[in-house]
Amino acid sequence: MNETHKTYIEGNKMEKETYTLKELAERWSLNKMTLNRWAKAGKIKCFRVGNKFLVKKEEVERIEGGE
C-alpha cells in the first residue's frame, strides 16, 4: 500500500490519513476543479504525490470545523 495514502482501522471504523481531491469533491459535493483552484489559491493545504494532490486528515477536519 502507498504509505502516503494509507487507511487504518480504529475499532470498527476505518480512518484515512489522507484524501485525494476527488474524494473530497465527492464528500463535500463540489466540483474537483473547485478544489484544484482552492489548492492553487492556498485555501486548502495539500501536497503532491505523483499526479495526485493529497490532503491530510487534520486539514479536512479544520475545513469541516469551519476554521
Beta strands in the chain (DSSP E): 7-10, 13-16, 18-20, 47-49, 52-56
Higher pLDDT, 3 or 54: 54
Extents of the domains making up the chain: 3-64
Nearest alpha carbon to residue 57 among 13, 1, 11: 13
Q: Report the distance separating Cα 25 and Cα 9, nearest Å.
A: 23
| Residue 1's pLDDT band (cuts 50, 70, 90) | very low
Higher pLDDT, 19 or 66: 19
Q: Is the domain covering 3-64 a CATH 3.90.105 domain?
A: yes
Q: What is the pLDDT of residue 35?
A: 96
Tell me the per-residue pLDDT of 6-54, one tens digit each, with 9 for 90 and over.
Answer: 555 555 556 689 999 999 999 999 999 999 999 999 999 999 999 999 9
pLDDT exceeds 90 at position 61? yes
